[in-house]
Amino acid sequence: MNPRRAVSAILIGLVTASAIAQSPPQEPLTLAELERIALAGNPTLAQATAQVEAARGRAKQAGLLPKPVLGYSAEEFAFRAGVGRGKQGVFLEQAIPLGGKLSSSRAIFEKEGIEAETSVEAQRLRVLNSVRSLYFEAVVATRRVHVRERLAQLTDEAVKVSRQLYNTGAADRPDVLESEIEARETRLALEASRDQQYHTWLSLVTMIGQPDMKLRPLAGELDASPPELEREAAVAALLRDSPQLRRARAQAERAEAIVKRADGESFPDLFLRVGADYDRERLDTAAAVPGQPVGWEGSLEAGVSIPLFNRNQGDRAAARAELRRARAEVQRVELALKSRLSGVFEAYLTALRMVDEYGKEILPRAEQAYRLYLDKFEQMGAAYPQVLIAQRTLFQTSERYLSALEQANVAAVQIQGLLLVDGLDAPPMPGETTTGIGASEIPGAVRSGELPVSVEPAGKE
């Protein structure tokens, strides 16, 4: 058999080999299964749910009356022995907030509960979006390993062929050196791709709460075209459904409730006190039973707090300032979401064009050029280094195509997932503006379980 035909047969067989290596015996994991495991195992979802329960508990507590005071009283003590004087008894004291303070305090934490519920929805989307993005990255990383394994096989075979041709005088020494350099660089790239595959897999299983899960194949077709999205529809869906924007609006409503509560603080509170005392004072001689103690006597006291000097002016002004800030935050979040969507959508369109161009035009041409050089080499019309260059171009083109597929799918996940990412970041506490789009904590904001100074829920100590 002609040596050149034998070399051609080996190269064609390696290039046209299956892109997917033999699967291990484990059942491939589907994206749906990964999502199910993540929703059950990601700890941030439990955190977000706990915040909702905590907000409901604070709302219940804020609507309760203050604790009554039960006490003992004694007066008119006589320290001289044998003198029967003095009063001893018990009393019950209760403060009753007026002006709707209890209902206003409860409303604040009910708004906090709504805010916490939006955080649950946002965190769920963050987890799912992160799992979907990492799934695509893991599939691409696996495919990239397979491509580089094939390329490494080809470059190793090319070294053997170059040495054979050099021994027969059909190739020069530089050709052999070039093929050896190519083989070593390809091996380094293969090891780097394996490291990246492991890192991506570890990120994926950590996201779903199973960091000890061993490497397993993933089910799914990577070559399926990414979804086609429209910019205007994506913007409308983002502004309509974004939990981040709904959370900012809930914070504005909470700020309105705080203003109402601060205004109510200037309304007087009622204080009641009832008691019963036993008076040991002896009756005078004119009484029906001379010398008998006065006995049990009742008492009733009532009073109101007078907002004479302190009408809660400072807290009312601060609450109104926070309301203006919260309303401006709604506008800021909306603008920030639009800006971020614009950048992600541009990256999506660029990657989508690359997928289309590489899939329809560039890859077929690269493969055709490789086969043409291979045919010419077989017919002694081309040198072997030209075959190596065409071969390298084919595999580099394949890797660029895989990268474009990954970028397009990940960008589509972010767009369809309302730009929520980072599924292992802790959900923001109610009262914080950590919306994931560059916001920071509200300076001086009313946070979980807190109210402005002098505006505490009456049921709290």
Residue 405 lies in a domain: yes
CA distance 329 to 251: 9
At residue 14 the predicted structure's pLDDT band, cuts being 50, 70 and 90, is very low
What are the tens digits of pLDDT across the range 233-259?
999 999 999 999 999 999 999 999 999
Greater model confidence, 405 or 23: 405
Average pLDDT for 26-51: 93
Average pLDDT for 317-344: 96
Average pLDDT for 435-451: 36
How many percent of the chain have pLDDT more than 90? Answer: 57
* Arithmetic mean of pLDDT over the chain: 83
Residue 461 has pLDDT above 70, yes or no: no
pLDDT at 77: 67
Q: Which residue has the tokens 């799914």?
A: 220
Phi-psi region of 303 (alpha: psi -120 to 50; beta: other; left: phi over 0): beta
pLDDT at 288: 55
Greater model confidence, 325 or 386: 325
Average pLDDT for 406-419: 95
What are the tens digits of pLDDT across the range 334-358?
999 999 999 999 999 999 999 999 9
Cα 435–Cα 328–Cα 54 angle in degrees, nearest 5: 45
At residue 182 the predicted structure's pLDDT band, cuts being 50, 70 and 90, is confident
pLDDT at 441: 31
pLDDT at 11: 43
CA distance 162 to 176: 5
From the CB of residue 388, how many other CB atoms can be counted at a distance below 10 Å?
A: 24
Local structure of 459: helix, strand or coil = coil
CA distance 392 to 369: 11
pLDDT at 96: 93
Greater model confidence, 280 or 448: 280
Strand partners, 282: 293
Residue 308 lies in a domain: no
pLDDT at 287: 54
Residues 84, 282 contacting (CB under 8 angstroms): yes
Residue count of the chain, please give it: 461
What are the tens digits of pLDDT across the range 188-239?
999 999 999 999 999 999 999 999 999 999 987 766 678 999 999 999 999 9
Residue 435 lies in a domain: no
**Chain-centroid distance, C-alpha 87:** 65
- What strands lie across the sheet with 69-75, from one edge to the other? 69-75, 87-96, 270-282, 293-304
Structural domain of 43: 3-63+100-266+315-416
CA distance 185 to 67: 77
Residue 451 has pLDDT above 50, yes or no: no
Residue 13 lies in a domain: yes
Strand partners, 304: 270
* Number of domains within the chain: 1
Residue 247 lies in a domain: yes
Residue 434 lies in a domain: no
What are the tens digits of pLDDT across the range 62-114?
999 999 999 998 887 665 555 567 788 999 999 999 989 999 999 999 999 99
Give the Å distances, CA to CA, from 400 to 163, 386, 410. Answer: 31, 21, 15
pLDDT at 290: 59
Residue 289 lies in a domain: no
| CATH code of the domain containing 173 | 1.20.1600.10
Average pLDDT for 321-345: 96
Residue 442 has pLDDT above 70, yes or no: no
Residue 42 has pLDDT above 80, yes or no: yes
At residue 285 the predicted structure's pLDDT band, cuts being 50, 70 and 90, is low
